[in-house]
Structure 1
Amino acid sequence: MVQTQEQQVRRRRVFYIPGYDPIHPRRYRELYRKEGAAQAAVSGYEIALKPKQAGGPYGWHVTSTQEGATVEADIEVLVWSDIVRDSMGHSIPETYLQLLRTAWAYIGTGALFRLMRLRKGPIIAALYPIFALLLQLGAALGLGAGAAFLALALLPPFSLAPLAGTVVALAIAGAVLRWFRAHDGKFFAYYLMHDYAFSARWMGANPPGLETRMTEFRGQIEQALAEDWDEVLVVGHSSGAHLAVSILADLLREDRPTGGPALAFLSLGQVVPMVSFLPHATRLRKDLRDLCQSDALSWVDVTAPGDGCAFALCDPVKVTGVAPENQRWPLVISATFTQTLSPARWKALRWRFFRLHFQYLCAFDRPRDYDYFRITAGPQTLATRFKDRPPSKSRIDRPVNRFTTVG
C-alpha cells in the first residue's frame, strides 16, 4: 500500500477513563475488538488486538494499518468501577434516601433549572429515575393495599385483623419493590439513580476515595509521558470526561519536560454540567478554566444531539461560566449520528438511549471525520487530525451556571 501522508504516530499510548460503570473493564476490550473489526470492514483498513505490552492490568495492544502506515497502540482502562459499586445503594430504602438527597441537590440549589436551558435530553434522563422509582413505589403500595383489602375481606373478623392486613400489605409491597430492583437491567431506574446521586451527595466535589484514585491515574499518565511514545491520548467518556479534566489539569500544573510525546484529550458524550453546576464543584470549575487555556495539549470534545444522555454540543467551559478570554479548548464537534449512521442503523438504535451513549466507541456505517479507531490507532495525532476542523455551528457557548466560584 502506498503511504498517502506523513506518518506522525507509530507508537501511541491510550488511557481510557470510563463513566459511572460498575461492570468489569473487560467489556471495553471486547467492545473495541468487535466494533473495531466492524469499522475496519467499512473503512477499508486493518486492525488487530492482542494482549497489551505496557501498563497496568486492564488493557490491550492494537496493531493497525491505516492510510498507508502501521501503528502500534497500547490501550489502558483506568478503572474506578470498584468505587462505583461501593457507591451504589445496597438496599431499597437506601436508594430512596439517595432519591431525596439528589432531588434536593439539583432542585434545591436551582441547578436543575439552569441545566434545563442547555439540553432537554440529559434532564429527562436525570428526572427519569426519580419518576420511575416513585412510580414503582406507588405500584408497590397500591398492590400491597389491594392485597390487604382482599385478605381482610376473605378472612373472618378477629381482633388482630388490622395487624394481619398491615403485614400482608408490607409483604406484597416489599416483594413488588424487590421485583423491580431485580429487573433493573430493563428499567435502569436504580442504576441512573445511583449515578446522579454520586455527584449530588458531595454537591459536585469529589469524594476522598475518588481523589486518591485520580492521583494514581495522573501518575500513570505522567509516567507514559516520560516514555518513548509519539502520542499519549486520554479518552474520557461520559462521567469519565470530567475526571479526565481534573486529572490533566493537575498534571499540567506541574513542570513537564519538553520534547516528549504529544498530549491529547478526547472527551466523548460528556456530562460535565451535571457536576460543574453544583455549588461545591469549585475544583472542577478551576480545572476547566485552567485546562482550556493550556498550549501543552489538544482537546477535542465530541457529542451528538442524538445522544439523549449527553450535553450535546455544549462547550463545557463556557456553559459553566468559567471561560477566560484566552480560551483555546475544547474544539466542540458533533458525531452527527443521523448522518454517520445509515437510516436503517439509526432506526434500529434511535430509541436505545443507553446504547447510543456508547456509540462514540462503536463503528459507524457512514463514517465522516469522527472515527474512534482512526483516532486511537491511526497515524495522525489528535491535533493534526482535527487541525482544520471548525467547531460545530450549533454548539452552545453561553454561560448559564449560577455557581462560578473556583477553588
Structure 2
Amino acid sequence: MGATERQVRRRRVFHIPGYDPFHPRRYRELYRKEGAAQAEISGYRIGIRPARSDDSFRWVVGAEIEGKAVASQIDVLVWSDIVRDSMAQSIPATYLQLLRTAWVYIASGALRRLMWMRKGPVIAALYPVVFLLVQLLIAIVAGVQVGGVVKALLQGAFGFVGLADYAILRALIFLLQWTAFAAVAVVIIRWFKSIDNRVFAYYLMHDYAFSAQFGGANPPALETRMAAFGDKIAAALTGDVDEVLVVGHSSGAHLAVSVLADLIRAGRVPQNGPALAFLSLGQVVPMVSFLPKAKRLRGDLAYLATSKALTWVDVTAPGDGCCFALCDPVAVSGVGPKGKRWPLVISAAFTQSLTPARWKALRWRFFRLHFQYLCAFDQPKDYDYFQITAGPRLLRDRFAGRAPSRSRIDVPVSKYTSVA
C-alpha cells in the first residue's frame, strides 16, 4: 500500500446479480469456494460465515491480505423470484416471446448496431432464437414423418380399395394422422425444454425478452426492489465503514447504474462518508441502453459518468463471449457528456490471467466464463475479485493511475440517445 492510501478495515459490499433464477446462496457458495482457491494461489487468508438479513441475502468475510485484517459484509439483491416468474411461460408463450423480442431488436435497429461492436454477445442473443426455431423444425419434420407412416399403415390395414371413397373413413384416417403428428411434435418440443439446463435456449430467450418487454425500461416490480436495495446502500453510507462497494454483474451492471444514480441525485451520498465505489463486471449494458425506451438508463449512465461522488471501474474480457467486452457503456450508448470521468474500462485478460491449461478447459464453456470475474485466477494480474471485495485497499487506490484498455470501444453507436 502507498503512503497516501487509506487502509480499509471495514467494508460493505452490495452485489447486484444478473438475470438468474437461482437463489443468491449460489453466490455465497461460489465466493466460499473460489475465495479459498484464490487465497491459496495468492498467499493470503480469507474465510466467510453466513449472516442474517430480512430483506437481502448476506454473508460476512474475514480476510488477512497484505498483512492487514479486513472485515467485509456482502449483501445480495434478491430478485431471483422475479426472474423465475418471468420464466414461468408455456412453450407457445415462449415462441410468442421470441417473435416479439426479435421484432423489438430488429425493427428498432438495435441488433444491427450491436453487431458493429461485438459479435460474441449478439451471437449469444441470436442463439436462442435459432435454436428454438431448429427445435420447432425438428418437431414438425418428425411429426410429419410419423403422421405419414400412420396414414400409410391405416390405408394398408383397410385395404383401401373402394373404402377410401367413404367420407367417414377418410376423416378418421386424417384425424389419426394429425393426432400422431401433434403427439410426436409435442413430445419432442417438451424433451428439448427438459434439457434446457444444458443448452440454455429457453433461459436466454426469457433473459432477452425480459429486457425487451418494456423497450428498455425496468419492470415496476424490479424498480421497487432496486429502490429498497438503494435504501440499504444509503444506510451503509452513513455507517462506520471505510468503503461501500457496489458490484453489478452481467445485466446487474445496468441495474447498479440506476441505483447509484438515484442515490447520488437525491443527495444520499455524504461528502465525508465512506468511499463509494462501483465495480461493473461482464456488463451487457448496450443490450438495454440501445433500446428506444431505455431513457432512464441512458440518463443514469450520463449522470454517473461525470460524478465525483464515486469511483467506477468496468471490467470485462474479450474471452467472455456473453458480454460487450471493452465497450465503454456510456460512450457507446451515445450519452458521453463533457467532463466524462467514468468508467475506467479495463480487461480481466482471461488469456493472460489463466494458465494455458485452465484457459483451454474453460474456453468453450461460455456461461462458466461469464462468471469468471467472480472466480479465482491461477496467474492473476491486477484484477482479483477477492482482494477488491475483502482486501485493505480502496477501489480508487487499487486502480489509481491505471490507464484504460487500449482496445476499448468508446465511440457513439446507439441510434437512441434521448434521456429521462
Give the TM interval when normalised to the shorter protein. Answer: over 0.9
Rounded to whole Å, the distance in 2 between the matches of 1:322 and 1:89 is 35
Q: Is the 8 A contact 1:52 1:75 kept in 2?
A: no
Q: Is the 8 A contact 1:143 1:173 kept in 2?
A: yes
Counterpart pick for 2:277 among 244, 258, 264 = 264
Give the secondary structure class of the aligned counterpart of 1:389.
coil
Residue-by-residue CA offset, 1:198-243 (whole Å, 9 max, x unaligned): 0111110111111111111111111111111110000000000000
Give the secondary structure class of the aligned counterpart of 1:367.
coil
**TM-score of the two chains, using structure 1 as the length reference:** 0.98
Give the secondary structure class of the aligned counterpart of 1:62.
strand
Q: Is the 8 A contact 2:276 2:309 kept in 1?
A: yes
What residue number does 1:301 align with? 314
What residue number does 1:172 align with? 184
Rounded to whole Å, the distance in 2 between the matches of 1:99 and 1:188 is 14
1:288 correspondence with 2:301: yes
Counterparts in 2 of 1:287 and 1:4: CA distance versus 1, 3 Å: closer
* Aligned counterparts, 1:23-172, within 5 A: 23-52=22-51, 56-155=55-154, 156-157=157-158, 158-159=169-170, 160-172=172-184
Q: Is the 8 A contact 2:56 2:77 kept in 1?
A: no
Specify the structure having the higher radius of gyration (Cα): 2
Rounded to whole Å, the distance in 1 between the matches of 2:44 and 2:67 is 9
Tell me by how many angstroms 1:52 deviates. 2.6
Rounded to whole Å, the distance in 2 between the matches of 1:80 and 1:361 is 19
What residue number does 2:202 align with? 190
* Aligned counterparts, 1:272-283, within 5 A: 272-283=285-296
Tell me by how many angstroms 1:7 deviates. 5.4
What residue number does 2:417 align with? 404
Rounded to whole Å, the distance in 2 between the matches of 1:335 and 1:258 is 31
1:239 correspondence with 2:213: no
Give the secondary structure class of the aligned counterpart of 1:300.
strand
Q: Over the residues paired in the alignment, what is the CA RMSD in angstroms?
A: 1.3
Greater displacement, 312-321 / 255-264: 255-264
Give the secondary structure class of the aligned counterpart of 2:51.
coil
Whichever residue aligns with residue 136 of structure 1, its letter is: Q
Segments of 5+ residues of structure 1 without an aligned counterpart are none
Counterpart pick for 1:181 among 193, 203, 218 = 193
Counterpart pick for 2:388 among 342, 351, 375 = 375
Whichever residue aligns with residue 380 of structure 2, its letter is: P
Whichever residue aligns with residue 111 of structure 1, its letter is: A
Rounded to whole Å, the distance in 2 between the matches of 1:93 and 1:289 is 39
Tell me by how many angstroms 1:153 deviates. 1.3
Residue-by-residue CA offset, 1:18-68 (whole Å, 9 max, x unaligned): 000000110000000000000000000000111237774411110000011
Whichever residue aligns with residue 182 of structure 2, its letter is: L
Counterpart pick for 1:395 among 380, 403, 408 = 408
Whichever residue aligns with residue 102 of structure 2, its letter is: A
Whichever residue aligns with residue 352 of structure 1, its letter is: R
Tell me by how many angstroms 1:152 deviates. 1.2
Residue-by-residue CA offset, 1:327-352 (whole Å, 9 max, x unaligned): 00000000000000000000000000
Rounded to whole Å, the distance in 2 between the matches of 1:317 and 1:311 is 12
Q: Is the 8 A contact 1:4 1:67 kept in 2?
A: no
Rounded to whole Å, the distance in 1 between the matches of 2:38 and 2:381 is 12
Rounded to whole Å, the distance in 2 between the matches of 1:285 and 1:291 is 10
Rounded to whole Å, the distance in 2 between the matches of 1:235 and 1:122 is 21
What residue number does 2:213 align with? 201
Greater displacement, 86-95 / 324-333: 86-95
Rounded to whole Å, the distance in 1 between the matches of 2:91 and 2:106 is 23
Rounded to whole Å, the distance in 1 between the matches of 2:419 and 2:101 is 22
Whichever residue aligns with residue 18 of structure 1, its letter is: P
What residue number does 1:218 align with? 230
Q: Percent identity?
A: 66
Q: Is the 8 A contact 1:111 1:277 kept in 2?
A: yes
Q: Is the 8 A contact 1:61 1:73 kept in 2?
A: yes
Q: Is the 8 A contact 1:55 1:76 kept in 2?
A: no
Rounded to whole Å, the distance in 2 between the matches of 1:194 and 1:295 is 37
Q: Is the 8 A contact 1:56 1:76 kept in 2?
A: no
* Aligned counterparts, 1:321-336, within 5 A: 321-336=334-349
Segments of 5+ residues of structure 2 without an aligned counterpart are 159-168
Q: Is the 8 A contact 2:56 2:78 kept in 1?
A: no
Rounded to whole Å, the distance in 1 between the matches of 2:379 and 2:415 is 40
Q: Is the 8 A contact 1:89 1:95 kept in 2?
A: no
**TM-score of the two chains, using structure 2 as the length reference:** 0.95
Whichever residue aligns with residue 134 of structure 1, its letter is: L
Whichever residue aligns with residue 37 of structure 1, its letter is: A
Query: How many pairs align?
Result: 405
